[in-house]
Structure 1
Amino acid sequence: MTKPVKTKAQTRKEIESQVERFIRQQGEIKQVEMGASGLQDGKYNTSHIGFIEPKKDRTPLNHVVAAIQQRKSDKKAPTPPAKEKSKQPKKKIIYDDFGDPIRYVWED
């Protein structure tokens, strides 16, 4: 049993009724300038931005990477050519414009 999915119209109607109920209960809606809700003391909140620490020096590991690549190339042995599969015809379904199967065709 699947859960019934709300349409956009139903969701809009539900939100409108919640707003009306809030206003009827002496609620007040305040208008705020666009983008003001993301500001703290008139500035953007930068405490969550990850670039606070200074850039660190990186340790070069070129010799380690070269050793790993060398080990990988040593492990790879030449693989024998794969055997060819016997070519058997495949069954292909032909569909009409509505996506319903019409017939089957065998292809090589």
Structure 2
Amino acid sequence: MKENFTFDDRLGILIPDLKDLSDFSLKVQEEILLKWEQVRGSIPDRIRDLEIQINQKQALLSNESNFPRSCQLNSEIAELASIINDLWLWYRANEVLSTKVHH
């Protein structure tokens, strides 16, 4: 099962590494989908943790008078927001995976 998922350091979750689900037996397809559902269920918690980090950085930014440091904080906030966006895309990818398993 592990060979069907790869840990993404940037996103902090396992990502399905599937070329074609039809290459697997129905039992393995269901196991993959179950594993994905577990990973998918963790995505909102991961997003919440990233939002906390964004809020902390925004609080620092509101009191920062050093321009280069302000730019750095803005960059870090933008990267965290980008990760959140990608996580939401993966969260919504469930419909695609489910459809592939059931066809």
Q: Note whether the superposition's TM-score is higher than 0.5.
A: no
User: Greater share of strand residues, 1 or 2?
Assistant: 1
User: Greater share of helix residues, 1 or 2?
Assistant: 2
Rg larger in 1 or in 2?
Answer: 1
Q: TM-score of the superposition, structure 2-length normalised?
A: 0.20
Q: TM-score of the superposition, structure 1-length normalised?
A: 0.20
